[in-house]
Amino acid sequence: MKTIKFKFFSALMICGLVLASCTKYEYGPEFTLLTKKQRVTNSWEVDRAYEDGNDVTSSYDEYDLVLNKDQSARLTATYGNSGTQVIFQTDGTWEFLDKGAQLYLDMENDDADQTFFILRLTDDELWLREKGDDLELHLKPSR
């Protein structure tokens, strides 16, 4: 009987350690059944943006990032006011780097190429920190 209790307790401890180590990203999630590819595949818009600790969301309200299952990507940004608007759009690809800890965008317009650290990745939140900069983007699914 002691052997059965010990094996059960050992199995329970191992499961607990495995689940506790499932957190890959700084802000979670703790556990998910969806793969990181399933979670990142979406059409995203900027919900909040911070640079050097300052809220700069208004500079990013018209950005839309589409990440497809086939790892193709499209970035669209609209600049200007109602009188004059300029639309910037570029296509490319995306991939995970560093075992999924980073997201790399390789766009046709090389100015839009970027590597981001993934801070949070759920099916309805994607938080990114630009590598080599203090820009943090909190994205949500587009309307």
Q: Is the residue at 90 inside a domain?
A: yes
Q: Is the residue at 7 inside a domain?
A: no
Give pairs for 97-104: CB < 8 Å, separation 24+.
100/24, 100/36, 101/24, 101/25, 102/131, 103/40, 103/128
Which CATH number goes with the domain that contains 41?
Answer: 2.40.128.280
Q: What is the predicted pLDDT for the residue at 80?
A: 73
Q: Is the residue at 27 inside a domain?
A: no
Q: Which helix (H) or strand (E) holds 6?
A: helix 2-20
Report, as an integer, the average pLDDT of 86-110: 95
Sign of CA dihedral 44, 48, 32, 25: positive
Diameter of the chain by CA atoms? Answer: 80
Residue whose tokens read 């608007």 = 85
Residues 6+ apart with CB under 8 A from 32: 39, 122
Whether the per-residue pLDDT at 27 is higher than 80: the answer is no
Residue whose tokens read 């999924």 = 100
CA distance 123 to 141: 8
Q: Is the residue at 20 inside a domain?
A: no
Q: Is the residue at 87 inside a domain?
A: yes
- Percent residues over pLDDT 70 in the chain: 76
**Would the pTM of this model clear 0.75, i.e. be above it?**
yes
Domain count, the chain: 1
Q: What is the predicted pLDDT for the residue at 3?
A: 62
Q: Is the residue at 79 inside a domain?
A: yes
Whether the per-residue pLDDT at 94 is higher than 60: the answer is yes
CA distance 90 to 38: 23
Structural domain of 77: 33-141
Q: Is the residue at 12 inside a domain?
A: no
Whether the per-residue pLDDT at 126 is higher than 80: the answer is yes
Report, as an integer, the average pLDDT of 79-101: 88
Q: Is the residue at 24 inside a domain?
A: no
**What does the pLDDT look like over 100-117, one tens digit per residue?**
999 999 999 999 999 999
